[in-house]
Structure 1
Amino acid sequence: MTPSRDQCLFIAELAGEAERFDDVVAQIKTIITSIDPRLALEERNLLSVAYKNITNNLRSSWRIVDTLEKVQAARSKNTASRQILLIRQQRERIEHELTEVCKDIVNVLDRDLLPHAQPGEEQVFYSKMKGDYYRYLAEFAQKHEREKFGDCSLAAYKIAYQRAVTTLDPIHPTRLGLALNFSVFYHDVRKSPERACFVAKSAFDDAISVLEGTDPSQSTAFRDSLMILQLLKDDLLLWAEEMKD
């Protein structure tokens, strides 16, 4: 018997507290497929945080193993040594796991969440997620797939950005978070710090222009916006130094 929505949400929250993020995903997927593809804000955030934690762990593992592989290759004259082959096998295993997770959430977004999303913040949020996970795929994909995933990420970010500028305030945390990740895409995937700075600075300036007229209440959304603005500023300073060098 399918559990109720409240039961699924309770178990998902419990799993999140226990950092069992695969269980969080399973419970929210049950809600999506068996109860309602339109997620409530709390359900949506649980799903987003769960996938983010799963992929962050895998991306961190991949970077470590990839670095070790390069270090070992530089030290060894034999690029087909037993140690390098073992490291390569582990990297490829992590790549496979990461690919499966990223493609899984993209499929959920395309099949269930985006078709039922309400115009405005909900559509922007899901389109941004789609851009994020295609960006992760582009970061570690082999050369023949890197451009394909990069193009998919760019298309999703563009759709999200077009929707954000027409439906969300410049200070809205979802719009600012989108600008932050979109600028990182240009810097890390497209290798264009100039374009990255343009996106980040446009979002930063637009938000600052309306900040003075904003109610300075310390709501969660307001604090989130200020935190993202600081991240945008940090990136701008870092990338400006890169271009100067």
Structure 2
Amino acid sequence: MSNALFIAVVTGGASGIGLATASALLARGNWHIYILDRNPPPSNAFTPDANATYIQADVTEFASLASAFQKIFDSHSRLDFVFANAGIALHPDSLTPTAESSKDEYPATPDLTLLDVNLKGVIYTSHLARHYFHLSPAGSERNLIITASMAGFYASPSVPVYTASKHAAVGWTRSIAPSYWKQDRIRVNAICPSLVATGIMPKEMYASFPDGVLTPIESVVKAVLLLLDGKTEQVDEGKVVAGQTVEVNGSDFYFRKQIEFCNPLAAAVMGSAEVKA
């Protein structure tokens, strides 16, 4: 990247991975970071002179999110990086029968707020990112990184709705990456962290896991920056760093490939997810 001032949008940027990534970009000195979240970051998160701006926005409400993007674009006439990071892990879903279940009544309507945030929010954010990337000057950086999870690759019976949302985020990333690159030169990638100690779960829940299982938030930020910069030794030289779904476990990165097609007919039906330079 050049020494120009780059413009970034970070959803869910008031805490956790989003806040840590915003701080890392600010440390580079050539970024203006817009934090989009329902709540503001801590008052001491940034220095008073930092190029960081908070805008209240709800990723599940398209009008709210679109208004924030428009304000940012009106101010700078460009957009370089969108980090679709907002997400939640624990939310009552009413999917388990209770003692009050009756054969004479329907079960309670499931609360799918988690899907609204983790999937609908990602789709809304991606859609707006593409729109404003498309309007940005030719030659500008155009990077969309989505926060998925290791639960996007593996089953997790204890949190099935969360797991479904993260499988969807991985599928969304792989499915849009080819067209976003071909049509607008937007690089789309996803990070898929293991368990990271953030505010996504209560502190006491993290204590229930074995020692050494947590992934440092610094490892996740490093993965984001590698994808943002388009530099990694684990992607073949000469290939576009796009369409990657990177599992972050401990200090290690695993570039997960889509499963192989069972036969050529399946490949013909689904189409190629390869991003070609």
Pairwise TM-score range, normalised by the shorter structure: 0.3 to 0.5
Q: TM-score, normalised by structure 2?
A: 0.34
TM-score for the superposition, normalised by structure 1: 0.37
Larger strand proportion of the pair: 2
**Which protein, 1 or 2, shows the higher relative CO under an 8 Å CA cutoff with sep ≥ 6?**
2
**The structure with more helix, counted as a fraction of residues:** 1
